[in-house]
Amino acid sequence: MAPQSVLITGCSTGIGSATALMLAQDKLTRFKVYATMRNLEAKSNLEKEAGSTLNKTLFIRELDVTKDPTIKSVVDEILRDNGRIDVLVNNAGYMALEGINERSVEWCQAMMDTNYWGVVRTTNAVLPAMKKQMSGRIINVSSIAGVRADPFFATYSASKFAMEGYSESIAPVLRDGYNIKVSIVEPGPVKTELSKKVFGTPFEEQAKDFDPVVRDLLVTWSKDMASVFPFVTHQSADEIAKLHMDIILSENPHLRYQTTENLTKMAAVKLRDPTTDFLLDMLKQSRYASPTE
């Protein structure tokens, strides 16, 4: 049986890199992975970790989720070489601190363009092939901040909320119409270079130009968060990668996955069923909308 062709965005470091390596190094060679990144100058670590899988089961390509031509180029290559696309992992994204109105609209739009519209662009690019083959898996890497917004990360949370709403809407249609399964993954803190960049720099320094009231509130909040989520308790990128593999191999994957038990408890405060599988049945959704149900 031919290996599944997998397209992953945002693979220069972190969750994307870990997922690409885990799938490409699968001992049963069940996957052929196209690990993509915005800037190929950042590929050296992934190339080194790939070892003998490089250009065999792991192919590193340039793809900027904000630029349609780069997406089309990689999708066309995958289809030309494999005749199909089995899995898309929408992982590319970034986060940054903000103080409500302390960032420009252009700054906010740029984050939305990557974190949300990037997901829409890549999904649109693979759907024609997946619809034609009547199968496929799409994994959208969100965040627990896409369920419960974090203070001082308004645009990041908004981008993940947008991704989650988009995913909820398309999931039942693609499942029932084309046998394409969509899943949302909601990690909490993960040990990545991105997390180090955001949380490794003192918030006082990052917020030095913020409104004094907002800055003081941020400092107080960040100290409390540090006591609850010290960096040593963050999940590893490999843990998230393993979950991605499990989802791909699952016959009937959930719509939502929180990546730890504590995150599931946090989500349950807002979601009656943390897997939200009921949303996959369009005809039953109205019953769950009733506050008396």
Distance separating alpha carbons of residues 98 and 153, to the nearest angstrom: 6
Distance separating alpha carbons of residues 136 and 6, to the nearest angstrom: 10
Cβ(29)–Cβ(106) below 8 Å: no
Distances, alpha carbon 267 to alpha carbons 67, 181, 275, in Å: 33, 22, 9
**What is the C-alpha R_g of the chain?**
19
Cβ(162)–Cβ(118) below 8 Å: no
Distance separating alpha carbons of residues 2 and 82, to the nearest angstrom: 9
Catalytic residue numbers read: 156
Please state whether 201 falls in left (phi above 0), alpha (psi between -120 and 50) or beta: beta
Cβ(267)–Cβ(274) below 8 Å: yes
Cβ(130)–Cβ(5) below 8 Å: no
Give which of 86, 89, 75 is closest to 139, Cα–Cα. 89
Q: Which residues of 4-40 are buried (b: 16+ CB within 10 A; e: fewer)?
A: bbbbbbbbbbbbbbbbbbbbbbbeeebbbbbbbbbee
